């Protein structure tokens, strides 16, 4: 059974090929993507590789999740 990283690598490869050919469009406006950084962001998002970073960043801060659930505010 393929790992998630294998799927992610294939998806990133496919999206970057579309970018190089000039057929990659953004989802919101539908315009052609001209920036390599934007193409990478789209590829990571579609492959589901950006979710891992969001999960780890969500827990960081002054208080943990248990303190926030108890009603403490961040200052």
| Domain parsing of the chain, residue ranges | 4-69
Q: Give me the DSSP letters along 19-68.
A: HHHT--B-TTT-PBP--HHHHHHHHHHHHT-HHHHHHHHHT-SSS-HHHH
Can you give the pLDDT of all 75 residues of the chain as single tens digits?
556 667 888 888 999 999 999 999 988 888 999 999 999 999 888 888 766 555 555 555 555 555 555 665 555
pTM: 0.57
């Amino acid at each position: 059974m393929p790992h998630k990283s294998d799927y992610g690598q294939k998806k990133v490869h496919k999206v970057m090929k579309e970018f190089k050919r000039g057929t990659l469009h953004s989802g919101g406006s539908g315009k052609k993507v001209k920036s390599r950084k934007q193409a990478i962001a789209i590829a990571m998002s579609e492959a589901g590789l950006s979710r891992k970073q969001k999960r780890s960043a969500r827990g960081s801060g002054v208080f943990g999740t248990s303190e926030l659930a108890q009603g403490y505010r961040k200052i």
